[in-house]
């Protein structure tokens, strides 16, 4: 089977799925967007990869400006057109689409339906919910209502016309019921992290000195995008509250974009804060970047918990470090954090104060740090069995391709009967 996995973001576990599908005998092309700035996986062939695996990056002659609405809409429209052109020029039997911006995705989904090309919607975020909230925050109420309806209908179209939808959490199914998606075409497969690529390391490793000084009692790392569903000010609040408790905490933020730039400005303006901001690091260095920490930090705003599960928490678990989540407690990621002995507090100033108290207890008990880290990795190993996960995707792909073939045969027979 010729499979195209189109993951716009280029994240680590999507790349691992492509590798595993290729090892199962499929010809797999993994496509991502070169211009999207994020923590990337291994997006090139490795020595132990199957020969039928290939990687490709898409790039437009137009900048990707994430926070400029007009420019971004133009980019997404052009990207969708480029994706259609690639799908037409380099055919595949089936496509898996993941993390693709909504306008691009909708435009391609219309093409796929017309061509009767089977595809799997690997649903990572309900983009229409976030875009609708953003419209309501920035536009007059009547315009915002129209924009929210348009976004909702575009994502509903994608979900209803896909051969199958793979959701990353049970919470997505509420939207599918509202959209009228056939439940028999929906599977819930939680995200994971590639255990062979992200693993525990020594605290003192080749990247430790780049990230931290020598005098910090506790080292914290935040690694990943900081988007509109995160509040970076909570990281500053956390450092301030920890200082009130007399704990010397050092925080390194590995990210890029407007929020990361704002944090770098805070670090320059407030030298008393032990805060560093670094750009996204090479995939090979990620285990050492995470491993240099004592605690790994995740953020998620309350209005995003219904449509987003932060996958960085899964990478943190694989790295075998305690996790601090400033996020709603009803998010599935929060349950994993608590199960490993980490801390979850509401993403508010009060929550940051509660989290700082937890950091104080860790600073006094290195054994608790080690225990929580080991437990996080154990849970990751229990849940992230990539062979079983790949087998589920393989079965879904086979059903999608077989269903498309049956549909073509039925149409052909109908034409012959009429002749």
Q: Where are the domains of the chain?
A: 2-192+385-418, 208-382
pLDDT greater than 50 at residue 413: no
256-299, pLDDT tens digit by residue?
A: 999 999 999 999 999 999 999 999 999 999 999 999 999 999 99
Q: Which fold has domain 2-192+385-418?
A: Rossmann fold (3.40.50)
Cβ contact 317:340 at 8 Å: yes
pLDDT greater than 90 at residue 403: no
For residue 345, name the pLDDT band (cuts at 50, 70, 90). Answer: very high
Write down the pLDDT at residue 405.
53
Please state, for a pLDDT cut of 70, what percent of the chain lies above it: 95
Write down the pLDDT at residue 306.
67
Cβ contact 125:308 at 8 Å: yes
pLDDT greater than 90 at residue 29: yes
Which residues are within 8 A (CB) of 277 and not within 5 positions of it... i.e. 6 or more apart?
252, 253, 255, 260, 263, 264, 267
For residue 419, name the pLDDT band (cuts at 50, 70, 90). Answer: very low
Q: What is the mean pLDDT of residues 40-64?
A: 94
Write down the pLDDT at residue 132.
87
373-387, pLDDT tens digit by residue?
A: 999 999 999 999 999
C-alpha 37/C-alpha 125 separation (Å) is 17
Say which residue, 194 or 129, is predicted with more confidence. Answer: 194
Q: Of 168, 224, 156, nearest to 11 (Cα)?
A: 224
- Where is average pLDDT lowest: 9-23, 72-86, 221-235, 277-291? 221-235
Say which residue, 53 or 257, is predicted with more confidence. Answer: 53
Write down the pLDDT at residue 64.
85
Q: Which CATH number fits domain 208-382: 3.40.50.2000, 3.40.50.1980, 3.40.50.2300, 3.40.1080.10?
A: 3.40.50.2000
Longest dimension (CA), the chain: 85
Burial degree of 374 (CB within 10 A; 0-12, 13-18, 19+): middle
Please tell me the pTM assigned to this model: 0.91
pLDDT greater than 90 at residue 407: no
Angle between helices 366-383 and 349-363 (to 10 degrees): 110
C-alpha 211/C-alpha 221 separation (Å) is 9
Q: Do domains 2-192+385-418 and 208-382 have the same CATH topology?
A: yes
pLDDT greater than 50 at residue 107: yes
Q: What is the mean pLDDT of residues 307-313?
A: 84
Say which residue, 160 or 304, is predicted with more confidence. Answer: 160
Q: What is the mean pLDDT of residues 63-72?
A: 80
**The two structure tokens encoding residue 95:** 């496509």
Write down the pLDDT at residue 230.
85
Write down the pLDDT at residue 369.
93
pLDDT greater than 50 at residue 415: no
- Where is average pLDDT lowest: 120-129, 206-215, 324-333? 206-215
pLDDT greater than 90 at residue 404: no
C-alpha 107/C-alpha 111 separation (Å) is 7
């Amino acid at each position: 089977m010729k499979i195209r996995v189109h993951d716009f973001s280029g994240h680590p576990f999507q790349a691992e799925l492509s590798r595993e599908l290729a090892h199962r005998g499929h010809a797999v092309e993994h496509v991502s967007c070169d211009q999207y700035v994020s923590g990337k996986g291994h997006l090139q062939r490795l020595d132990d990869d199957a020969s039928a695996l290939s990687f490709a990056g898409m790039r437009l002659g137009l900048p990707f400006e994430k926070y400029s609405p007009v420019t971004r809409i133009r980019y997404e429209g052009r990207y969708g057109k480029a994706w259609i052109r690639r799908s037409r020029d380099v055919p595949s039997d089936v496509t898996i689409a993941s993390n693709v911006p909504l306008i691009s995705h909708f435009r391609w989904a219309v093409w796929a339906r017309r061509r009767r090309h089977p595809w799997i919607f690997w649903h990572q975020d309900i983009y229409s919910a976030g875009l609708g909230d953003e419209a309501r925050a920035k536009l007059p109420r009547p315009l915002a209502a129209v924009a929210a309806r348009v976004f909702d209908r575009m994502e509903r179209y994608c979900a209803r016309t896909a051969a199958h939808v793979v959701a990353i959490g049970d919470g997505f199914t509420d939207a599918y019921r509202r959209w009228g998606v056939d439940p028999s075409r929906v599977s819930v497969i939680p995200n994971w992290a590639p255990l062979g690529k992200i693993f525990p390391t020594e605290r003192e490793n080749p990247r430790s000195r780049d990230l931290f000084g020598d005098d910090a009692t506790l080292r914290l790392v935040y690694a990943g995008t900081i988007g509109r569903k995160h509040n970076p000010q909570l990281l500053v609040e956390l450092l301030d509250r920890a200082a009130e408790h007399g704990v010397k905490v050092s925080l390194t933020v590995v990210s890029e974009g407007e929020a990361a730039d704002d944090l770098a400005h805070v670090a320059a303006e407030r030298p008393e804060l032990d805060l560093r901001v670094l750009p996204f690091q090479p995939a090979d260095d990620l285990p050492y970047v995470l491993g240099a920490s004592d605690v790994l930090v995740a953020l998620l705003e309350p209005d995003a918990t219904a449509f987003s599960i932060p996958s960085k928490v899964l990478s943190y678990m694989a790295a075998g470090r305690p996790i601090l989540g400033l996020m709603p407690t009803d998010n599935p990621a929060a349950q994993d954090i608590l199960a490993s002995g980490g801390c979850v507090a509401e993403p508010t100033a009060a929550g940051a104060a509660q989290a700082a108290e937890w950091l104080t207890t860790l600073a006094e008990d290195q054994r608790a740090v080690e225990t929580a880290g080991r437990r996080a990795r154990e849970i990751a190993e229990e849940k992230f069995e990539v062979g079983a996960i790949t087998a589920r995707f393989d079965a879904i792909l086979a059903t999608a391709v077989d269903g498309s073939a049956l549909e073509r045969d039925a149409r052909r027979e109908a034409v012959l009967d009429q002749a």
